[in-house]
Amino acid sequence: MIEANDKFQDARAIDPLSEILKEPTRFLILRVFLLLALISSIGHATGQMTAIDTTHSKLSIHVSKSGVFSGFADNHEIEAPIAEGSLDAKSGEVRLSVDSRQMRVLDPKLSAEKRQQVQERMLGPEVLDSSRFPSITFESTHVERRQEGTVIVQGRLSLHGVSKPVSIDGHVKNGRYTGRFALKQHDFDITPISIAGGTIKVKDEVAIEFDIAMSPSKAN
């Protein structure tokens, strides 16, 4: 027995490297398992990004008039179709984009000719300059869920070549995200249209209303 122990000690002396490698190997395996567990827990917490149902989603922009003779001007309602986007039902994370060239002035009270004039001015260099800045994007950076399906989404909106942080209050019900928020045109280097020496103009602040649908299989 003593001889066997002596041989074991001799073996360790002859090949110390094998003994040295044993401890780091154990720690390496442990770190790998911990990393896999962390990745798994993150995936479980955030859920999965699902494509937005662009066909059944809607984004509208409301532009109001102001000025001394605002009674002779028109409010404008603009449709901004969502080109593409994705949403995580669990975390509330959202990303979407709009092609500014596809935005349309609705204004049912205007004649077709007048509506076309407003359309061209909106897409032209005075306002959106859609030929230079065709993409409008929003990407959330933080989502806070509150009671009764209310969420506060903070993120960055890129419009007219300018990116700004925005905060949006929304509601979640049956897989739909709805809400309304405001922004100022000047914040995105857009000068509100003004005519007749400023006696007729549009307000700097515009309201944006959204109704976003996601895949029924991922509905909340």
pTM exceeds 0.75:
no
Alpha carbons 182 and 157: distance in angstroms, whole number: 12
Pick 197 or 123 by higher pLDDT: 123
Of 129 and 8, the structure prediction assigns the larger pLDDT to 129
Residues 202/192, Cβ–Cβ less than 8 Å: yes
Which residues, listed in sequence order, are joined to residue 139 by a DSSP beta bridge?
Answer: 95, 156
Percent of the chain's residues with pLDDT above 70: 68
Which pLDDT does position 89 carry in this prediction? Answer: 75
At residue 116, the pLDDT reads 92
Tell me which of 22-36, 38-52, 74-88, 161-175 is least confident.
Answer: 22-36
- Domain at 47-218, CATH from 3.10.150.10, 3.90.25.10, 1.10.1530.10, 2.40.128.110: 2.40.128.110
Fill in the amino acid letter for 213.
Answer: A
Position 54 confidence tier, pLDDT thresholds 50, 70, 90: very high
Q: 42 falls in which pLDDT band (50, 70, 90)?
A: very low
Write down the mean pLDDT value for the chain: 78
Between residues 46 and 213, which one has the greater pLDDT? 213
- Predicted confidence band of residue 22 (pLDDT cuts 50, 70, 90): low
Whether the predicted pLDDT of 60 surpasses 90? yes
Cα(177)–Cα(87) distance, integer angstroms: 10
Quick one: tokens of 218?
A: 């991922």
**Measured distance CA(151)–CA(144) in Å, rounded:** 6
